[in-house]
Amino acid sequence: MAQRKFRKIMAANRGEIAIRIFRACTELGIGTVAIYSEEDKLSLHRYKADEAYLIGKGKSPIDAYLGIDEIIALALKRDVDAIHPGYGFLSENAEFAEKCEAAGIAFIGPTAEMQRRLGDKVAARKVAVAAGVPVVPGTEDPIEHEEEALIFAKNYGYPIIIKAAAGGGGRGMRVANNRKELVEGIASARSEAKAAFGNAAVFLERYLENPKHIEVQVLGDSFGNLVHFFERDCSIQRRHQKVVEFAPSLCITPEMREELCAAALKIAGQVGYRNAGTVEFLLDQEGNFYFIEMNPRIQVEHTVTEMITGRNLVQDQILVAEGKPLSDPEINIPNQDAIKMWGHAIQCRITTEDPANNFAPDFGILKAYRSSAGFGVRLDAGNAFTGAQITPHYDSLLVKVSSWGLTFEEASRIMHRSLQEFRIRGVKTNIAFLENVITHPVFLNGKCDTSFIDKHPELLK
- Report the candidate in 105, 48, 97 with the shortest Cα–Cα distance to residue 79: 105
Pick the stretch among 169-177, 338-346, 373-381, 397-405 that binds ligand ADP (CB under 6 A).
169-177
Are the C-beta atoms of 217 and 306 separated by less than 8 Å?
A: no
Nearer to ligand ADP, 169 or 364 (CB): 169
Helix (H) or strand (E) holding 317: helix 313-321
Q: What ranges make up the beta strands (E) of 166-303?
A: 173-176, 202-206, 212-220, 226-238, 241-247, 275-283, 289-295
Nearer to ligand ADP, 83 or 208 (CB): 208
Nearer to ligand ADP, 123 or 432 (CB): 123
Site residues (CB under 6 A) for ligand ADP, limited to 293-352? 293
Phi and psi (nearest 5°) for 122?
Answer: -70, -45
**Which residue from 64, 161, 313, 345 is in contact with ligand ADP, where contact means CB under 6 A?**
161
Q: Using the Cα atoms of residue 274, residue 12, residue 45 and residue 243 in order, give the sign of their dihedral.
A: negative
Nearer to ligand ADP, 39 or 449 (CB): 449
End-to-end CA distance of the chain: 55
Q: What is the DSSP string of 121-182?
A: HHHHHHHHHHTT--B-SB-SS---SHHHHHHHHHHH-S-EEEEETT--TTTTEEEESSHHHH
Least separation in angstroms between CB 282 and ligand ADP: 6
DSSP 93: -
- Calculate Rg over the CA atoms of the chain: 21
Residue 380 interacting with ligand ADP (CB under 6 A): no
Least separation in angstroms between CB 211 and ligand ADP: 5
Total residues binding ligand ADP (CB under 6 A): 19
Exposed/middle/buried for 29, CB within 10 Å: 0-12, 13-18, 19+? exposed
Beta pairing class for 8-11 and 31-36: parallel
Residue 168 interacting with ligand ADP (CB under 6 A): yes
Nearer to ligand ADP, 169 or 323 (CB): 169
**Which residue from 59, 179, 240, 393 is in contact with ligand ADP, where contact means CB under 6 A?**
240
Pick the stretch among 165-173, 264-272, 371-379, 389-397 that binds ligand ADP (CB under 6 A).
165-173
Are the C-beta atoms of 227 and 218 separated by less than 8 Å?
A: yes
d(CA 55, CA 83): 15
Site residues (CB under 6 A) for ligand ADP, limited to 197-216? 205, 207-208, 211, 213
d(CA 25, CA 8): 8
- 10 Å Cβ neighbour count for 22? 23
Residue 417 interacting with ligand ADP (CB under 6 A): no
d(CA 9, CA 226): 24
Residue 169 interacting with ligand ADP (CB under 6 A): yes
Residue 450 interacting with ligand ADP (CB under 6 A): yes
Least separation in angstroms between CB 208 and ligand ADP: 4
Q: Which of 116, 125, 274, 297 is catalytic?
A: 297
Residue 136 interacting with ligand ADP (CB under 6 A): yes
Nearer to ligand ADP, 216 or 292 (CB): 292
CB-side exposure of 37: number of CA atoms within 13 Å? 21
**Which residue from 92, 280, 316, 362 is in contact with ligand ADP, where contact means CB under 6 A?**
280
Active-site residue 297, yes or no?
Answer: yes
Pick the stretch among 167-175, 304-312, 386-394, 436-444 that binds ligand ADP (CB under 6 A).
167-175
Binding-site residue positions: 121, 205, 240
Least separation in angstroms between CB 239 and ligand ADP: 9
Binding-site residue positions for ATP: 121, 205, 240
Instruction: List active site positions.
Output: 297
List residues binding ligand ADP (CB under 6 A): 136, 161, 167-170, 173, 205, 207-208, 211, 213, 237, 240, 280, 282, 292-293, 450
